[in-house]
């Protein structure tokens, strides 16, 4: 035909439209990003990750993901899928504090760097400016000075976080002023090419130089000076001589390679009951890793290196949150400082009760803010009470609450003797703003199964561990 009449446009409700054309089925499955799994209702492929949905699809205004779910349902498996897919597009995965470890084998398979932290294994010098300090020197000029000032702020926040872990509460405001002045004094008197250590910081407080005394308002009175700095002095000695000393009192054992295709800081050798050291190691890993990101962007802004994007995984978020009152402020400061394009993050925890267990209402509100600010919220199986609480924050329908709650049920009694999978393993609900949630099921590949088995220590005589997250079958 030489000419085709335009079709008539009709508008109708979904009920009427289905009656007019009963074979229509809209899946609403996004196709931008890492292939995650299949839509539970339609079987359509669902793709997504916080970086692709922020940069390409523009579904979200913040390149971040917050994931909640009961243990053993596949949270880290789904994040593992995301970081593998993102690495294939040139994004650099950063696993900042791998506790089990869940991601170390994947990072090795990607040709990345795995750094072990623990007593007698390796440590992090929290006073070391790291990649940010090196970038500031390389850039020079006003931009270098600005980066050096930001480096000072990151080091200050990290030491304050360590002190909060040791004390079990936040630092006082005047102590932060003393600490900042001491760091400035120490930095000016440390030879180039050498990073100061925590014992050097203690020595500055003991000596009491004029710059430090000025912020204590001692007015030449020695007793007033000691009254102002002694609590801080005792806390730093507690870090050096207490459970954290071996890990944070010496030079950094292995620095993060800014050119690595992926980085994993493995803290799995720290004992499960060693809560203080675990929380401190996670905070130090986050600070060091996010400082590397800031340095990379600063060098790219100066035209010295190509632009790189990063995907930071902050797993087991509840560990540092429970370490001390006010630690949520330090986590917020570490993740917000120098926040710019080029960094996506995934925060993973079990339930919202992890936030409710914090000491003060202010801390609980800030922890809930992690969920509110997230561009994507992903839910694995959770009890109904948890889903109802989460629904007040992200807006869940009654049907979505029922669906995700059903995934938290335990497996049936194995009548055949075979391993029974929990009904919710591999099933997730993706929520973005006020949009309806996208329910998906994930089937892992053979490669992922070999790289990611979180129950590997339960294997006997070479046999796979029953019910391991990394071993669910393709139908899950």
pLDDT given at position 431: 93
Cα(82)–Cα(98) distance, integer angstroms: 16
Does 15 score more than 80 pLDDT? no
Cα(144)–Cα(302) distance, integer angstroms: 10
Q: Which residue blocks in 308-397 are alpha helix, DSSP H?
A: 318-321, 327-336, 353-356, 361-373, 384-394
Q: What is the 3-state secondary structure (H, E, C) of 100-121?
A: CCCCHHHHHHCCCEEEECECCC
Tell me if 372 sits within 8 A of 431, measured CB to CB. Answer: no
pLDDT given at position 469: 45
For residue 474, what pLDDT band results from cuts at 50, 70 and 90? very low
Name the nearest CA neighbour of 94 among 294, 252, 280, 274.
294
Does 230 score more than 90 pLDDT? yes
pLDDT given at position 270: 86
Does 299 score more than 50 pLDDT? yes
Tell me if 96 sits within 8 A of 88, measured CB to CB. Answer: no
- Mean of per-residue pLDDT scores for the chain: 83
Does 465 score more than 70 pLDDT? no
pLDDT digits (tens, 9 = 90+) for 133-150: 999 999 999 999 999 998
Cα(101)–Cα(267) distance, integer angstroms: 8
- The secondary structure element, H or E, covering residue 406 is helix 398-406
CA atoms within 13 A on the CB side of 15: 0
The token duo for 278 is 């675990």
User: Worst-scoring range by mean pLDDT, 123-127, 152-156, 229-233, 364-368?
Assistant: 364-368
pLDDT given at position 143: 92
User: Worst-scoring range by mean pLDDT, 27-31, 179-183, 354-358, 362-366?
Assistant: 354-358
pLDDT given at position 315: 84
> CB neighbours (10 Å) of residue 154?
22
Does 318 score more than 50 pLDDT? yes
pLDDT given at position 284: 87
Does 473 score more than 50 pLDDT? no
Cα(223)–Cα(96) distance, integer angstroms: 43
pLDDT given at position 448: 85
pLDDT given at position 327: 67
Cα(421)–Cα(411) distance, integer angstroms: 6
Does 192 score more than 70 pLDDT? yes
Tell me if 286 sits within 8 A of 316, measured CB to CB. Answer: no
For residue 334, what pLDDT band results from cuts at 50, 70 and 90? low
For residue 356, what pLDDT band results from cuts at 50, 70 and 90? low
pTM above 0.85, yes or no: no
Cα(2)–Cα(219) distance, integer angstroms: 95
Question: What string of DSSP letters covers 408-442?
Answer: TSPPPP-SSSSPPPPTTTTEEEEE-TTSPPEEEE-
Overall average pLDDT of the 153-172 stretch:
86
pLDDT digits (tens, 9 = 90+) for 89-119: 999 999 988 988 889 999 999 999 999 998 8
Name the nearest CA neighbour of 163 among 339, 323, 287, 52.
323
């Amino acid at each position: 035909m030489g000419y085709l009449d335009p079709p008539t446009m009709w508008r109708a409700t979904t009920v009427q439209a289905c009656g007019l054309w009963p074979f229509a089925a809209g899946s609403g499955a996004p196709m931008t990003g890492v292939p995650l799994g299949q839509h539970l209702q339609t079987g359509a492929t669902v793709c997504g990750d916080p970086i692709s949905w922020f940069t390409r699809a523009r579904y979200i205004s913040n390149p971040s993901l917050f994931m909640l779910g009961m243990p053993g349902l596949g949270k880290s498996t789904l994040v593992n899928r995301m970081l593998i897919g993102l690495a294939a597009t040139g994004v650099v995965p950063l696993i900042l504090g791998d506790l089990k470890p869940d991601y170390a084998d994947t990072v090795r398979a990607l040709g990345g760097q795995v750094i072990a932290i623990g007593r007698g294994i390796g440590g992090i010098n929290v006073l070391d400016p790291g990649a940010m300090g090196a970038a500031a020197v390389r850039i020079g000029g006003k931009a270098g000075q600005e980066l050096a000032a930001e480096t000072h702020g990151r080091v200050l926040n990290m030491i304050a976080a360590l002190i909060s872990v040791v004390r079990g509460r936040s630092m006082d405001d005047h102590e932060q002023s003393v600490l900042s002045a001491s760091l400035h004094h120490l930095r000016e008197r440390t030879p180039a090419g050498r990073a100061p250590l925590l014992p050097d910081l203690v020595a500055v407080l003991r000596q009491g130089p004029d710059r430090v005394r000025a912020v204590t308002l001692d007015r030449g009175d020695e007793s007033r000076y000691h009254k102002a700095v002694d609590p801080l002095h005792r806390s730093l000695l507690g870090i050096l001589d207490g459970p954290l000393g071996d890990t944070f009192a010496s030079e950094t054992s292995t620095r993060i390679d800014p050119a690595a295709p992926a980085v994993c800081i493995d803290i799995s050798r720290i004992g499960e009951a060693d809560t203080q050291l675990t929380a401190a190691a996670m905070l130090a890993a986050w600070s060091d890793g996010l400082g590397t990101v800031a340095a990379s962007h600063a060098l790219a802004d100066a035209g010295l290196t190509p632009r790189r994007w990063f995907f930071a995984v902050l797993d087991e978020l509840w560990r540092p949150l429970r370490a001390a009152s006010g630690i949520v402020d330090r986590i917020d400061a570490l993740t917000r400082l120098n926040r710019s394009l080029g960094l996506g993050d995934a925060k993973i925890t079990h339930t919202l009760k992890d936030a409710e267990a914090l000491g003060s209402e202010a801390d609980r509100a800030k922890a809930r803010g992690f969920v509110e600010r997230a561009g994507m919220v992903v839910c694995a199986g959770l009890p109904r009470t948890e889903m109802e609480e989460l629904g007040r924050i992200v807006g869940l329908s009654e049907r979505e609450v029922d669906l995700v709650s059903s995934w938290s049920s335990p497996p049936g009694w194995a009548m055949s003797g075979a391993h029974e999978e929990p009904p919710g393993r591999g099933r997730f609900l993706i929520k973005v703003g006020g949009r309806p949630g996208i329910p998906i099921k994930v089937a892992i590949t053979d490669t992922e199964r070999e790289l990611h088995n979180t129950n590997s220590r339960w294997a006997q005589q070479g046999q796979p561990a029953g019910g391991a997250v990394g071993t669910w079958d393709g139908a899950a």
